[in-house]
């Protein structure tokens, strides 16, 4: 750019640039319309140059933009999950703090309830029973003793992601759980609702949702790892729901804590006197067993809460360590009612821990990090005795990761380059997965069969992508042969860990390779027939010594002795049709041998036989029909070249590569053996 253009650029890029003052000064300094037009053209050129530079920068950094966008998407997903976990932890800490502060209030309410226990209990249970008669599928709700209704009302449920309305529900809050029922569109008698979900008060947290018109009067229920959003009729009803839910959760926490405190000071248990002498031994054993299990230890009393904290803080190893410690302590202890009760509480935490670990291994989670990223969750599931589930989830996670990697692979450039990338991604992932599987499931040999089955299914996914690019796009046989060779070489890498999938790869490719061989055979036959129709039986003139030397090199690379058929200067004592046929057939043989495996033995032999038969029949027909003695002798020379030179090379090359004799080709050569004939005779072969 000129010096004037640089000054103009600096002036326009100045942070203190004022367009109005600039135009005013320009109008005063210009002599007329011509100066303004020239200045306008300079600004336009500068704008075009800037736009061009911007476009170049965009193209230059296009891939970085795409990768950055993907990273941002991954980070956004992970930050959302982190925010969800922090919110849940905050709600848990708040509920614990409020529960500690409300001890006095709970004691007062306990005294009030003790004054009118029967009447209040009966009225509440009667009300709950009458309401639940309107809900379909809740027959077992009243089986829990002491359960009664606290509050109920209509709510509207919204989608968490896009805040769109889902359905109308009716919620029943009880002293230990929350029942969600959906409205029935076709009501039958007194039944208005249908059972949807039942949540224990300890399993969820309630969060207020800030009003954002038109979305208002909403609150969220968090059940890790899911959540649901409900909308009340108005702000007053929403406030009542939040207050009553909070108060009910506090009351349950306080009640459970007092129950534990009352159970801690255990008093000696007197055995009932039985008149049956045969019951005395059993009673004594029961009393001794109950007295021998000491559950008043501090770490046992705090175990359920410690497990909740470990799960909330994602300390999976700590949670499993606590479970192992408890199992070790109770291993040789008798199963008393208190032990059963403790086991019931712990089993609920084990279920929650298992659900969290299962979510960690789900394909919906981030798939980055490779197989090692799943090791933590898999090892803890195995310690919990869930090795089968851990194996299933691990393999599903890796299948999704491999499929995602294949889908993200760009189809660009030559097919062979794409196949190199595809094989590198797939077989490297398969090898890493196998090594991680051996490490994680070293003590669970029963899971190895599942890995072999998964490997076969993964190979099918690879072959689908491979065939779509190589065979469906009608690539040349040479390209297909190179691609199959690359896939076989990568597949051999798996043998270092004792996994041989070569047979699986071949069995999945056999159909496509067979179709490719037959298709290319048909192309050669059609081309040979077309050349035969134009055959003049004249010697081949290559015009230049370089062309003759090149042809000799090509024939020598195929194993054919060609020296005796070259004449003076650049002449070849064979016809163009026979030479072209020989080159095309030898190329087909070499590419077919690259694709060869036992299932294709007969297919390749029959294809070679059909191709050779077309050329042999044409020579035979020409010998019988040709009347000119010189041309007939030339045709005989071409027939001798095919029979004595080309066919033995084909048979020998096939047997060296495959390890089996080509019996069909031997029979064909014997049946078409040329003889020395009288030039005037019309007999050519016997």
For the stretch 551-556, contacts whose Cβ atoms lie closer than 8 Å and that sit 24 or more positions apart, written own/partner, are 551/579, 554/583, 555/582, 555/583
Whole-angstrom Cα Rg for the chain? 43
**Backbone torsion region of residue 167, taken as left when φ is above 0, otherwise alpha when ψ lies between -120 and 50, otherwise beta:** beta
- What average pLDDT does the segment 229-233 reach? 90
Residue 452: partners with Cβ closer than 8 Å, 6 or more residues away: 499
Beta bridge partners of 174: 149
Beta bridge partners of 219: 208, 230
Higher pLDDT among residues 62 and 467, named by residue: 467
**Backbone torsion region of residue 369, taken as left when φ is above 0, otherwise alpha when ψ lies between -120 and 50, otherwise beta:** left
- What average pLDDT does the segment 323-329 reach? 86
Number of domains in the chain: 4
Residue 326: partners with Cβ closer than 8 Å, 6 or more residues away: 300, 303, 346
In Å, how far are 221, 231, 242, 445, 564 from 159, measured between CA atoms?
12, 11, 20, 44, 85
Pick from 405, 400, 347, 408: nearest CA to 374: 400
Beta bridge partners of 135: 193
For the stretch 267-274, contacts whose Cβ atoms lie closer than 8 Å and that sit 24 or more positions apart, written own/partner, are none
**What one-character-per-residue DSSP string does 80-130 give?**
HHHHHHHHHHHHHHHHHHHHHHTHHHHHHHHHHHHHSHHHHHHHHHHHHHH
Q: Is the pLDDT of residue 216 over 70?
A: yes
For residues 49 and 140, membership in a common domain is answered with no
* pLDDT attached to residue 272: 41
Q: Is the pLDDT of residue 423 over 60?
A: yes
- Does 284 reside within a domain? no
For residue 513, the Cα-to-chain-centroid distance in whole angstroms is 28
Domain termination residue (choose one: 489, 506, 523): 506
User: Does residue 317 contact residue 380 with C-beta atoms inside 8 Å?
Assistant: yes
Kindly indicate the confidence band of residue 155, based on its pLDDT and cuts at 50, 70 and 90.
very high
* pLDDT attached to residue 599: 85
- What average pLDDT does the segment 610-632 reach? 84
For residues 161 and 89, membership in a common domain is answered with no
Instruction: State the sign of the Cα–Cα–Cα–Cα dihedral 393, 399, 403, 406.
Output: positive
- What average pLDDT does the segment 622-644 reach? 84
- What average pLDDT does the segment 365-393 reach? 78
- CA 380, 381, 385 angle in degrees (round to 5)? 115
pLDDT (tens digit per residue) in 446-461? 788 888 888 888 989 8
For residues 372 and 468, membership in a common domain is answered with yes
For residues 253 and 141, membership in a common domain is answered with yes
* pLDDT attached to residue 445: 74
Distance, in Å, from the CA atom of 50 to the CA atom of 44, rounded to the nearest integer, reads 10
Q: Is the pLDDT of residue 339 over 50?
A: yes
pLDDT (tens digit per residue) in 477-512? 888 888 988 898 888 888 887 888 888 888 888 888
At how many degrees (to 10) do helices 33-60 and 19-29 cross? 140
* pLDDT attached to residue 119: 44
Residue 434: partners with Cβ closer than 8 Å, 6 or more residues away: 451, 455, 494, 497, 499
* 37-46, 49-58, 189-198, 581-590: range with highest mean pLDDT: 581-590
User: Does residue 231 contact residue 217 with C-beta atoms inside 8 Å?
Assistant: yes
86: tokens are 């922090």
For residues 150 and 19, membership in a common domain is answered with no
- What average pLDDT does the segment 240-267 reach? 78
Pick from 340, 327, 335: nearest CA to 285: 335
Kindly indicate the confidence band of residue 681, based on its pLDDT and cuts at 50, 70 and 90.
very low
- Does 618 reside within a domain? yes
For residues 319 and 379, membership in a common domain is answered with yes
Q: The whole model's pTM is what?
A: 0.50
Q: Strands 571-572, 191-200: parallel, antiparallel or unpaired by DSSP?
A: unpaired
Q: Is the pLDDT of residue 114 over 60?
A: no
Distance, in Å, from the CA atom of 204 to the CA atom of 197, rounded to the nearest integer, reads 13
Distance, in Å, from the CA atom of 72 to the CA atom of 62, rounded to the nearest integer, reads 15
**What one-character-per-residue DSSP string does 295-345 give?**
---HHHHTHHHHHHHHHHTT-HHHHHHHHHHHHHHTTTS---HHHHHHHHH
489: tokens are 């070489």
For residues 92 and 151, membership in a common domain is answered with no
- Does 639 reside within a domain? yes
Query: What three-state secondary structure class fits 196?
Result: strand
**Backbone torsion region of residue 370, taken as left when φ is above 0, otherwise alpha when ψ lies between -120 and 50, otherwise beta:** left
Specify the range with the lowest mean pLDDT, choosing from 59-63, 273-277, 296-300. 273-277
Distance, in Å, from the CA atom of 417 to the CA atom of 424, rounded to the nearest integer, reads 11
Run of H or E including 464: helix 448-470
Specify the range with the lowest mean pLDDT, choosing from 305-314, 543-552, 564-573. 564-573
Query: What three-state secondary structure class fits 218?
Result: strand
For residues 567 and 635, membership in a common domain is answered with yes
Kindly indicate the confidence band of residue 121, based on its pLDDT and cuts at 50, 70 and 90.
low
Is-cis flag, bond preceding 513, omega within 30?
no
Run of H or E including 222: strand 218-223
For residues 502 and 546, membership in a common domain is answered with no
- Does 511 reside within a domain? no
Higher pLDDT among residues 131 and 312, named by residue: 312
**Other residues' Cβ atoms within 10 Å of the Cβ of residue 564:** 8
What letter does residue 163 receive in the DSSP assignment?
-
User: Does residue 156 contact residue 165 with C-beta atoms inside 8 Å?
Assistant: yes
Query: What three-state secondary structure class fits 31?
Result: coil
Question: What percentage of the chain carries pLDDT values higher than 70?
Answer: 84
In Å, how far are 395, 398, 424, 483, 485 from 492, measured between CA atoms?
22, 21, 12, 15, 11
- Does 274 reside within a domain? no
For residue 395, the Cα-to-chain-centroid distance in whole angstroms is 10
* pLDDT attached to residue 118: 44
Q: Strands 135-136, 191-200: parallel, antiparallel or unpaired by DSSP?
A: parallel
User: Does residue 490 contact residue 427 with C-beta atoms inside 8 Å?
Assistant: yes
Query: What three-state secondary structure class fits 157?
Result: strand
* pLDDT attached to residue 290: 44
- Does 512 reside within a domain? no
Q: Is the pLDDT of residue 107 over 60?
A: no
* pLDDT attached to residue 156: 92
Residue 630: partners with Cβ closer than 8 Å, 6 or more residues away: none
What letter does residue 272 receive in the DSSP assignment?
P
Domain termination residue (choose one: 467, 490, 506): 506
Pick from 320, 456, 366: nearest CA to 74: 366
Distance, in Å, from the CA atom of 392 to the CA atom of 382, rounded to the nearest integer, reads 12
- What average pLDDT does the segment 220-242 reach? 86
Q: What range defines the domain where residue 3 resides?
A: 1-96
- Does 680 reside within a domain? no
User: Does residue 479 contact residue 415 with C-beta atoms inside 8 Å?
Assistant: yes
188: tokens are 């039958």
For residues 476 and 554, membership in a common domain is answered with no
Distance, in Å, from the CA atom of 267 to the CA atom of 263, rounded to the nearest integer, reads 10
- CB burial of 4-29 (b: ≥16 within 10 Å; e: otherwise) equals eeeebeeeeeeeeeeeeeeeeeeeee
- What average pLDDT does the segment 582-604 reach? 86
Domain termination residue (choose one: 259, 277, 305): 259
Query: What three-state secondary structure class fits 187?
Result: strand
Beta bridge partners of 205: 222
Question: What percentage of the chain carries pLDDT values higher than 90?
Answer: 2
User: Does residue 324 contact residue 369 with C-beta atoms inside 8 Å?
Assistant: no
Pick from 501, 484, 504: nearest CA to 592: 484
Mean of the per-residue pLDDT values of the chain: 79
Number of continuous H segments (helices) and E segments (strands) in the chain: 24, 10
Run of H or E including 431: helix 415-440
Q: Is the pLDDT of residue 40 over 50?
A: yes
Q: Is the pLDDT of residue 1 over 60?
A: no
- Does 277 reside within a domain? no
For residues 138 and 232, membership in a common domain is answered with yes
Q: Strands 540-541, 571-572: parallel, antiparallel or unpaired by DSSP?
A: antiparallel
For residues 329 and 210, membership in a common domain is answered with no
């Amino acid at each position: 750019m000129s010096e004037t253009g640089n000054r103009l650029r600096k002036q326009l890029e100045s942070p203190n640039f004022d367009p109005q003052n600039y135009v005013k000064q320009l109008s005063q300094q210009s002599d007329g319309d011509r100066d303004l037009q020239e200045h306008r053209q300079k600004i336009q050129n500068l704008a075009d140059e800037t736009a061009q530079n911007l476009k170049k920068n965009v193209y230059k950094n296009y891939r970085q933009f795409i990768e950055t966008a993907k990273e941002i998407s991954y980070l956004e997903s992970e930050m959302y999950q982190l925010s969800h976990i922090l919110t849940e932890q905050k709600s848990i800490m708040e509920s614990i703090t409020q529960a500690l502060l409300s001890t006095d209030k709970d004691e007062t309410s306990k005294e009030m309830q003790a004054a009118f226990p029967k009447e209040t209990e009966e009225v509440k249970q009667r009300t709950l029973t009458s309401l639940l008669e309107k809900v379909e599928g809740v027959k077992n709700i009243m089986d829990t003793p002491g359960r009664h209704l606290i509050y109920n009302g209509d709510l509207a449920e919204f989608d968490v992601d896009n805040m769109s309305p889902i359905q109308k529900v009716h919620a029943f809050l009880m002293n230990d759980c929350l029942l969600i029922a959906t409205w029935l569109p076709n009501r039958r008698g007194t039944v208005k609702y249908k059972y949807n979900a039942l949540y224990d008060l300890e399993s969820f947290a309630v969060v207020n949702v800030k009003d954002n018109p038109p979305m208002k009067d909403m609150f969220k229920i968090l059940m890790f790892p899911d959540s649901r959003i409900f909308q009340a009729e108005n702000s007053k009803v929403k406030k009542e729901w939040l207050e009553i839910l909070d108060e009910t959760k506090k009351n349950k926490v306080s009640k459970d804590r007092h129950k534990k405190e009352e159970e801690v000071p255990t008093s000696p248990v007197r055995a009932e006197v039985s008149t049956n002498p045969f019951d005395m031994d059993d009673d004594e054993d029961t009393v001794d067993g109950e007295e021998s299990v000491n559950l008043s230890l501090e770490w046992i009393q705090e175990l359920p809460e410690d497990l909740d904290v470990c799960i909330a803080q994602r300390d999976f190893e700590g949670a499993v360590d606590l479970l192992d410690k408890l199992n070790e302590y109770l291993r040789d202890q008798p199963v008393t009612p208190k032990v059963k009760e403790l086991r019931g509480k712990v089993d609920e935490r084990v279920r929650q821990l298992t659900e969290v670990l299962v979510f960690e291994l789900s394909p919906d989670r981030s798939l980055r990090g490779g197989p090692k990223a799943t090791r933590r969750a898999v090892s803890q599931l195995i310690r919990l005795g869930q090795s089968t589930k851990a194996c299933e989830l691990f393999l599903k996670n890796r299948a999704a990761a491999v499929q995602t990697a294949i889908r993200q692979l760009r189809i660009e450039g030559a097919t062979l380059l794409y196949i190199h990338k595809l094989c590198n991604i797939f077989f490297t992932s398969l090898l890493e997965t196998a090594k991680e599987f051996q490490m994680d499931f070293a003590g669970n040999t029963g899971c190895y069969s599942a890995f072999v089955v998964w490997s076969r299914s993964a190979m099918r996914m690879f072959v689908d992508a491979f065939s779509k690019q190589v065979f469906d796009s009608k690539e040349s046989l040479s390209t297909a042969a190179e691609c199959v060779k690359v896939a076989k070489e990568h597949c051999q890498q798996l043998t270092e860990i004792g996994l041989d999938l070569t047979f699986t790869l071949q069995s999945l490719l056999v159909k496509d390779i067979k179709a490719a061989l037959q298709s290319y055979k048909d192309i050669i036959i059609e081309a040979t027939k077309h050349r035969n129709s134009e055959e003049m039986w004249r010697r081949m003139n290559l015009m230049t010594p370089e062309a003759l030397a090149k042809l000799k090199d090509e024939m020598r690379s195929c194993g054919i002795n060609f020296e005796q058929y070259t004449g003076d200067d650049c002449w070849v004592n064979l016809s163009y049709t026979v030479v072209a046929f020989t080159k095309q057939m030898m190329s087909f043989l070499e590419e077919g041998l690259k694709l060869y495996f036992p299932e294709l033995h007969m297919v390749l032999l029959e294809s070679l036989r059909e191709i050779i038969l077309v050329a042999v029949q044409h020579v035979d027909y020409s010998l019988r029909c040709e009347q000119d003695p010189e041309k007939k002798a030339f045709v005989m020379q071409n027939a001798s070249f095919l029979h004595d030179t080309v066919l033995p090379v084909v048979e020998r090359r096939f047997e060296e590569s495959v390890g089996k004799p080509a019996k069909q080709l031997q029979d064909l050569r014997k049946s078409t053996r040329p003889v020395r004939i009288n030039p005037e005779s019309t007999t050519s072969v016997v």
